[in-house]
């Protein structure tokens, strides 16, 4: 069942989203060659819990053995943090973060460059981020879930990249994963009607090669079938009469706080 949230409930979700926005800013400055994914997980957990009442929403979710999902290069989502996984210059790393605060969840992901990356890799990140920006812009009352996926398709069409179709966004609220599913491909005017008060986690994932996926033997990490690079960006977004309200950071600057960008008022 699709839940409709009050403005006050959306404000509560934005408080958790602001924590994620701050964490993204910190990680932007901290991620570097030689860092382990375990160190990213450890820092993220400490950062979240430094905010009174906040906990990592993914810690223990469905048995996940970390506080945030950290996916490197060909890993699309659900990468398990490891002290053995050391980042190298030229890598890209996606950090998928959930925060639970006062009973409400927020969810966001960002893909970071590790040192200098090749121009074609930067292009993958840029197109994926543009796809998120355009998908968010389509999240307005009166449109449909299919309009969100159609915006992703339109953004990616004509590039060398492909949309990972088997992983989707989702509703979010009291639980990390709620109805409806939000596919990254769609047709305008199709799917559930977007209504004021809905909150969606919109998360395009692109591949530089095959869009087929497989899950590793750890039963968590999802990779591109041909081990091509993948990028992932995500925001939690409220549908409002004034337009989409991003609860987890600015759509142009990851470091900008939610509160500065907005008026007050099923994968991870």
Q: Is the dihedral of CA 236, 177, 242, 144 positive or negative?
A: positive
Please give the angle made by the CA atoms of 169, 101 and 30, to the nearest 5 degrees: 75
Answer whether the bond into residue 180 is a cis peptide, omega within 30°.
yes
| Residue in the block written with tokens 């979710």 | 61
Asked whether residue 71 carries a pLDDT value surpassing 60, the answer given is yes
Beta carbons within 8 Å of 193's beta carbon, 6+ residues apart: 142, 143, 144
Looking at residue 139, its pLDDT comes to 98
What's the Cα-to-Cα distance from 100 to each of 15, 51, 145, 253, rounded to whole Å?
10, 11, 25, 23
* Measured CA angle at 69 (ends 179, 149), to 5 deg: 40
3-class SS of residue 230 = strand
Q: What is the pLDDT of residue 200?
A: 98
**Domain 7-261 classified CATH 3.30.460.80?**
no
Task: Give 197: exposed, middle or buried? Use CB within 10 Å, 0-12, 13-18, 19+.
Answer: middle
Q: pLDDT tens across 197-233, in order? A: 999 999 999 999 999 999 999 999 999 999 999 999 9
What is the model's pLDDT at position 250?
Answer: 55
pLDDT at 268: 60
Tens of pLDDT, residues 223-263: 999 999 999 999 999 999 999 999 998 544 433 322 222 22
pLDDT digits 0-9 by tens, 72-112: 999 999 999 999 999 999 999 999 999 999 999 999 999 99
In angstroms, rounded to a whole number, what is the distance separating the alpha carbons of residues 105 and 257?
17
Tokens at 46, concatenated: 């400490």
SS3 state at 217: coil
Domain ranges of the chain: 7-261
User: What Å distances lie between residue 17 and 58, 181, 248, CA to CA?
Assistant: 14, 20, 4
85: helix, coil or strand?
Answer: coil
Q: What is the CA radius of gyration of the chain?
A: 17
């Amino acid at each position: 069942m699709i839940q409709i949230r009050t403005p006050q409930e959306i404000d509560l979700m934005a408080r958790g989203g602001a924590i994620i926005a701050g964490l993204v800013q910190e990680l932007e400055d901290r991620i570097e060659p030689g860092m382990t994914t375990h160190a990213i997980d450890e820092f993220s957990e400490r950062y979240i819990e430094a905010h009174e009442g906040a906990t990592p929403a993914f810690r223990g979710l469905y048995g996940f053995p970390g506080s945030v999902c950290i996916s490197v290069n060909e890993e699309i989502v659900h990468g398990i943090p490891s002290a053995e996984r050391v980042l190298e210059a030229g890598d890209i790393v996606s950090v998928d973060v959930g925060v639970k605060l006062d009973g409400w969840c927020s969810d966001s992901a960002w893909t970071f460059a590790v040192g200098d990356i090749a121009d074609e890799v930067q292009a993958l990140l840029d197109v994926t981020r543009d796809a998120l920006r355009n998908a968010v812009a389509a999240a307005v009352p009166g449109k449909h879930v299919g309009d969100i996926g159609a915006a992703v398709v339109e953004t990616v069409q004509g590039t060398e990249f492909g949309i990972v179709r088997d992983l989707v966004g989702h509703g979010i609220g009291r639980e990390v994963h709620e109805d409806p599913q939000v596919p990254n491909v769609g047709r305008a005017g199709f799917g559930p009607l977007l209504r004021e008060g809905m909150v969606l986690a919109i998360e395009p994932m692109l591949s530089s090669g095959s869009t087929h996926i497989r899950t590793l033997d750890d039963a968590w990490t999802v990779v591109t079938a041909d081990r091509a690079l993948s990028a992932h960006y995500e925001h939690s977004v409220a549908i409002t009469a004034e337009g989409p309200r991003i609860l987890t950071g600015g759509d142009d600057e990851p470091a900008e706080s939610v509160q500065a960008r907005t008026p007050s008022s099923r994968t991870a």
